[in-house]
Amino acid sequence: YMKKLHMQERAIEEVKLALKPFYQKREITKEEYKEILGKAVQKVCHSKSGEINPVKVANLVKAYVDKYKHARKHKKEETGDDSQTSGQPNN
């Protein structure tokens, strides 16, 4: 049990370390930071290898950040498009 807890603590530290630059540059919000932290830690802890590779963790975090940024961009576009087209007739 202690070994599992220790591994989880290390995973949390690695993920936080990888996430920090993105958060400081305001590329992700506080909510996104929390979500990515939770998902990435869970993924690292449940990996088959049982080891925490900082390079792999950094890549995983970067992929999550890109995914969230992409999703946020598309949400903005959808809401923006709806307000523009509502006043125009459809031809």
pLDDT of residue 1: 84
Q: Quote the pTM value.
A: 0.80
CA dist., res. 48 & res. 57, Å (int): 14
Helix ranges (H only) for the chain are: 2-24, 30-45, 54-85
What are the structure tokens assigned to 75, written together? 């949400």
Give the residue with greater pLDDT, 83 vs 3.
3
Residue 86 has pLDDT above 70, yes or no: no
Quick count: other Cβ atoms within 10 Å of Cβ 40? 23
Mean pLDDT of the chain: 88
> Structural domain boundaries of the chain?
2-73
pLDDT of residue 88: 52
CA dist., res. 29 & res. 59, Å (int): 19
CA distances from 37 to 6, 50, 81 (A): 17, 18, 31
13-49 per-position pLDDT tens digit: 999 999 999 999 999 999 999 999 999 999 999 988 8
